[in-house]
Amino acid sequence: MVALYSTPFSLSKLLSFCLFFTISHSDDFSALLAFKSKADTSNFLTSWSKNVPCSSWLGVKCHPITHRVIKIVLNHIHLTGSIYPLTHLTQIRHLSLHHNSLNSIPNFDFWPNLKHVYLSHNNFSGEFPQGIYRLKRLRRLDLSFNEFSGEIPVTELNQLPHLMTLRLEFNSFSGSLGADETRASVSFKEFNISGNNFNGKIPNWLSKFPVASFTGNVRLCGYPLRTICPSEMVNSNPTVMSTPNSQFNFPNQRKKNLRENMFLLIVTIDAVGVMMTVLVITWCCYYRKKNQEREIYALKNKHKYNQDMSSSSLYHSFEYGIKKTSDQFATMVCFEGCKGFNKVDDLLKASAEMLGKGSVGTSYKVAILDSGDVVVKRVIEKLKKMKDVDGFLRLIGNLRHTNVVSLRAYYYSKEELLLVYDFHPNGSLHNLLHGNHGPGRTPLDWTTRLKYALGAAKGLRVLHSYNKAKICHGNFTSSNILIDHYGNACISDICLHLLLQMPSSSNDGYKAPELSTQNNINTNQNPRKFSQKSDVYSFGVILLEILTGKIATSEGETSLAKWVQRVVNKEWTWDVFDFELARYKEMEDQMVALLKVAMACLVSSPKDRPKMIVVEKMIEDIAKKENR
């Protein structure tokens, strides 16, 4: 009898179990579609339209057994509005939505299993999100670069046993960070609250972090900051100031010894004073000499500064790169969009952060009060002896297009060239294609790659047809294609290599065959005769990067163009495409069509390559077919 009833009972439990997961899976599916309908106004999530989330949806990962959504990574795709629809994803472990425009955040009690939360660079506001301090499995929390305010639950966060990262910088949080007596039950590996309104003393258990973790909180004090807390100032007073006068009432028979001791004390104090004076004078002379040496050192431009310097040092390296004479107050040539600065000195007064050192100079992100962030490129290479460098720069400065990085201003002298551009926070196409391949990376989907290819083609076409001047770029690479706030591909560093006396690299994977030194020796041609057709060749290499995911020069210094040509000339294979595009096999026709465009740009003879207006039209036709 037991056997007769055990089977139906077990079967009913199994059916209930399956029904539970089916309903839960359906809830996840509906939640994602609801989120897409409200947040994806730019229609980046084109793959969220059929099948189920666990198959091929961009940025979505499911559990292999339960098929519940456990991970969402949707960064840099211009999402807007609220993330409330995602509260139905009760099994999610990893939520990454940084660099979007989201502005409403729910109670985190809906996500009890969260381990990783990355919500930086959005428009979230209000108080510290409710429920976060109850996420006992939480390991990483990044809410930086938002508009949160109010106090943070320090004591509660301190009780999360696995929390390793807490990043809250550049919000409007306030309040204290807790008392010294608080014993940390967590061991932070990464901690940053800079750019907020915290006050009071930094507790001892947080003092191990560097100054950069606390800067920008003007009412915060204690180590590692140099600001001494008021309580410490009181306690640091000499003991003699708080000692009762009765301790100095010596017996009469010891007055002589007292006078002798006082005399010795006065002599000692005088000696110490003289020594301190000598030390101060010596230090001032040394400091002045080092400043003079540093200024001369920078003016001669013999070396480059270390890229890992702090923000204040970056400011000085930027400042001392300009001659401290009348050039400091020289007027810059300004174009449309030049606000908040018109003199070199206006740039020097602003805070500057080094972005990197490229082939044409060093770039800084400079914060201008009325213009926001701009990029200042400092070129110290020798300029070509052109009759009208200013005229050429004015021509480029008046070029305005959605797919061209605008030159806002410049300063030109015999010593150097300063160029001011719009700041593009989303980085370059090169970094998006070949950058981080570790955990948390979101591969570029096919639609986005095709959009970038078309945008870069438009920008280069506009340059080639601009003002009937037959201008060419001269160094067109994937590093010179930047992505703006709206996801548009914009070409940058226009014509800089044409203005500079720079050696040409023999292993440059973007260089057209006619620019090769060996080819020009054989044909007696000018080895640096850049042209619009050499730009077209470089653009063909960029298309190959987009399609293959490989860099322009492969291992063993084999160019990408030669590798693709060798593969295509043999038997056609899917292996030529980036493995990250394998999930878009239904788009293979569009990929093949774009590959054919690239091969047309890469033909050996310049006269046989298409013009950019033709290339743009071909890619536009491919994009239209993809949208049908």
pLDDT score for 490: 95
How does pLDDT run across 535-571, given as a tens digit for each residue? 999 999 999 999 998 888 755 457 888 888 877 766 5
pLDDT of residue 446: 92
Radius of gyration of the chain (CA): 32
List CB contacts of 543: < 8 A, sequence separation 6 or more.
453, 594, 595, 597, 598, 601
Question: Residue 341 corresponds to which tokens in the numbers above?
Answer: 């600065």
* Interacting residues of 260 by C-beta distance below 8 A, sequence separation 6+: none
Amino acid at 128: F
Query: What pLDDT digit, counting tens, does each position of 242-274 carry?
Result: 333 333 333 444 444 555 566 566 667 767 777
pLDDT of residue 578: 87
Show the tokens assigned to 148.
């949160």
Residue 198 backbone zone (phi > 0: left; psi -120 to 50: alpha; other: beta) = beta
Say how many C-beta atoms besides its own lie within 10 A of residue 52's C-beta: 15
Chain mean pLDDT for the chain? 76
In the chain, the N- to C-terminal Cα span, in Å, equals: 63
Confidence of residue 21 (pLDDT cuts 50, 70, 90): very low
Amino acid (1-letter code) at residue 336: E
Summarize pLDDT for 508-518 with one digit per residue, the tens: 788 898 887 55
pLDDT in tens, 26-62: 678 888 988 988 888 878 888 887 667 777 788 888 8
Report how far residue 371's alpha carbon sits from residue 297's, in angstroms, rounded to the nearest whole number: 32
- Pairwise CA distance, residues 218 & 194, whole Å: 10
**pLDDT at position 27:** 78
pLDDT in the model for residue 264 = 66
DSSP string, 282-347: HHHHHHHHHHHHHHHHHHHT-S---TT--HHHHHHHHHTTS-SSGGGGPBPEE-TT--S-SBHHHH
Per residue in 576-622, pLDDT (tens digit) is: 888 888 888 888 888 888 988 998 899 888 888 999 999 999 999 88
Which phi and psi angles does 366 have, rounded to 5°? -120, 130
Q: Which two tokens stand for residue 204?
A: 């001892």
pLDDT band at 575 (very low <50, low <70, confident <90, very high): confident
Mean pLDDT within 292-316: 42
Residue-wise pLDDT tens digits, 340-397: 676 777 777 777 788 877 767 788 888 876 667 888 888 766 665 555 677 778 888 8
